[in-house]
Amino acid sequence: LPRQSIPNPEHRTAATVLVVEDEALLRVSLVDILRDEGFGVVEAASAHEAITILQTTTPVDIVMTDVRMPGTIDGVGLARFIRAHRPTLKIIMTSGNLVASPAGCPVDRFIRKPYGATDVVRLIRSLSAHGETQVRRCDER
């Protein structure tokens, strides 16, 4: 499909997104779109990889993570790690099985799979435009 850029030059290169997704083709597609839209992108195939990245000096502004992932830590565990160790990071959680983030999971936004490229780009832009993290719990919605 032809790619249509979402014009919003003031936000280009504004944020670096850590994409945490264990489905390779989905991850490849998403990071490609985000790079084309001007975001910095770092990718991880598991929550464990994401934590490894977050423990370095790699600049990350937003973490977009799936809920269900293989390994000992899922997206919920990753979100809790982030809130404990990198509380200023913004978190977008995504799932194809849930309609909202799990109870008590401290995320900023939730987007259900399948999602459109436009929707996720717009969501990331809106988050990167906010100065402060607004933590939402699913039971607050």
Check residue 6 for interaction with another protein (CB under 8 A).
Answer: yes
Least distance from another protein to the Cβ atom of residue 37, Å = 9
Residue type at 77 in one-letter notation: G
What are the residues facing 48 on neighbouring strands? none
Tokens of 38: 């001007």
Residue type at 2 in one-letter notation: P
Least distance from another protein to the Cβ atom of residue 25, Å = 4
Query: Running DSSP on this structure, what letter comes out for residue 10?
Result: G
- 18 neighbors 63 (Cβ within 8 angstroms): yes
Give the footprint of another protein on residues 66-125 (CB under 8 A).
Answer: 94, 96, 113-118, 120
**Site residues, another protein (CB under 8 A):** 1-6, 23-26, 28-30, 32-33, 42-46, 49, 52-53, 56-58, 94, 96, 113-118, 120
